[in-house]
Structure 1
């Protein structure tokens, strides 16, 4: 596994008004669905989105990194990242889906002490976490 943001520039990324719009629509949808729907329904919706998506063309890692960077830069305006891996992944997956990118959503557990966590991954690139943090996690579901 490799961290997608490794070596990426810091600071304000280049973005357009449509990126901001897509960000807030994605986060709003994720927040409302997290509050109103059961976990199983959200996972089902995410799975349907991936399965009904057109075949993925070759996604440029640079383009993907730029979109994740935009999302991460805007995220503090909507929610905190701390202890919100589920919301973070659900909102980011919705955001990327608006660009035709559907990363895998990995759910995992740690046995001792017990902990649950999730992250988004595209091929061997981790989008929402640092691979070092995931080394002891055991994946139990990949969408």
Structure 2
């Protein structure tokens, strides 16, 4: 099984909030492009889930890491700033590979933590306490 290729895949994301409540987001179609193109987030469609769509804003973005800046932020490197590799546009929409923060709220500090903006921003900028991404082939 490969995330990259002609096989249709589904993505389920489990988000654990500051109160340890789990939120589930599902994308019926999920596709990542090949390495030669920078592993772009090609498809994230068929969205469902009360936590909101945190991937729509970053569709088409390449996967950025500290040693390979491929984001849309021209003045810096989102993966270096946000402390984790991800498909960044201008850094803030979502980041499930960010640093775990012991504090629940981001008030007065930078936003360097696990976040899923449709959920975390609407709740006064709290950080997630955990996340899990599960991918499987569509039948």
Bin the TM-score by the shorter chain: under 0.3
Which protein has greater RCO, CA pairs closer than 8 Å, 6+ apart?
Answer: 1
Which structure is higher in strand share?
2
Which structure is higher in helix share?
1
TM-score, reference length from structure 1: 0.26
TM-score, reference length from structure 2: 0.26
